[in-house]
Amino acid sequence: MPTVPLLDVTGAVRWINETGAQELITSLIGTLESDFRRWESFERSPRAASHSPTGVIELMPTSDGLTYSFKYVNGHPSNPGHGLQTVTAFGVLADVSSGYPVFMAEMTLLTALRTAATSALAARFLAPPRSHVMAMIGTGSQAEFQALAFRTELGINSLRVHDTDPHTVAKFVRNATALGFDVHVAADAEEAVAGAQVITTCTADKTNATVLTSAMVESGVHVNAIGGDCPGKTELEAALLVRSKVFVEHTEQTRIEGEIQQMPADFACTELWEVVVGSDPGRTSAEQITVFDSVGFAIEDFSVLRHARAAVSGTAWVTHLDLIAEPVDPKDLYSLLTDTAAIRPPPPAFRTGARSG
């Protein structure tokens, strides 16, 4: 029977470590750019979200007509208090012509990589020239990946950071210092953004908060706003959006989930792919404030899944799943229950009466 290649967490960790996280982000930026250049060839729709009092579970599908992908992802801000990750995810690539899955992967790590790579791709077109300092408001799970991506694309090595959780700040300082970054811990967000050419906001609480006010942001700054990702969660003051040229991934989705959900329906914004292909100039002056209102989009997941599949295919980083039922006669599924040669015995620990101790 055919099996489906799986890049599990162990395999993903080995792949990232043996390749090098920064080197992998560099190559992933190239894959993302190529898919942004063919953005209009993809199916595009807002993700399907199931909200609960504790968080959200979402499905993010897309297809380019040949390959279909989807990602399952959750967002539960209170999870760390229970020893759980705020975000977990997995994804699938499938062949459109047969409908068969051809690759599966964990996507908690892969989402962090693709979010950082997308931020860096946007910054290439939108950040002011010769940017050398980035402020980071929020130093959680995304922070190290973002720092690596901005060093990859812009050469930024100086970071000014603030988070309300001292433990999270200490974690980031330990990791970022080991990666060779110069890190200044600020007492508050206002101190963090002082003198920065790029500001990244990425906080976890799913509330309409204002972690960055218009008064804090000087002319010419690029804001990488990646924390807004669901209805009822924002991080930027509306007045800052009014002052800025705002860029999004998929407008229809971002109006539901991004910073612009607090703006009128006719508020103008530009989709990033338009800048990548050259139909929009992006930043138009040294004084202009640019905002990348990024909520994450399915095409980016498609990109990282196809990138991972190409990179790990045939390697020891991949395991295989017995996921597809395939009887000799495709119209006789029941034969799998009667053909003893096709029935694989379960592992000993799962046989009737078996004991694991």
Per-residue pLDDT at 203: 85
Per-residue pLDDT at 105: 98
The distance between the two most distant Cα atoms of the chain, rounded to a whole number of Å, is 73
* Residues 29-49: tens digit of each pLDDT: 999 999 999 999 999 999 999
Per-residue pLDDT at 355: 41
Helix (H) or strand (E) holding 57: strand 55-63
Choosing from 35, 163, 229, 301, which is the catalytic residue?
Answer: 229
Tokens of 114: 């693709």
Helix (H) or strand (E) holding 35: helix 21-36
- CA-based nearest residue to 247, from 212, 297, 205: 297
Tokens of 298: 């399915």
- Cα–Cα distance between 186 and 163 in angstroms, integer? 9
- Cα–Cα distance between 119 and 149 in angstroms, integer? 8
Per-residue pLDDT at 339: 81
- Cα–Cα distance between 253 and 269 in angstroms, integer? 12
Q: Is 67 helix (H, G, I), strand (E, B) or coil?
A: strand
* Residues 226-281: tens digit of each pLDDT: 986 678 889 999 999 999 999 999 999 999 999 999 999 999 999 999 999 999 99
Q: Is 110 helix (H, G, I), strand (E, B) or coil?
A: helix
Whether 229 is catalytic is yes
pTM, entire model: 0.92
* Residues 157-167: tens digit of each pLDDT: 999 999 999 99
**CATH code matching the domain that covers 118-296, chosen among 1.10.3470.10, 3.40.50.720, 1.10.10.10, 3.30.465.10:** 3.40.50.720
pLDDT under 50: residue ranges of the chain: 350-357
Per-residue pLDDT at 25: 98
**Burial grade of 265 (CB within 10 A; 0-12, 13-18, 19 or more):** exposed
Helix (H) or strand (E) holding 119: helix 108-126
- Cα–Cα distance between 324 and 24 in angstroms, integer? 31
Q: What is the CATH number of domain 4-109+301-342?
A: 3.30.1780.10
- In eight-state DSSP terms, residue 46 is P
Query: Could you tell me the residue ranges of all domains in the chain?
Result: 4-109+301-342, 118-296
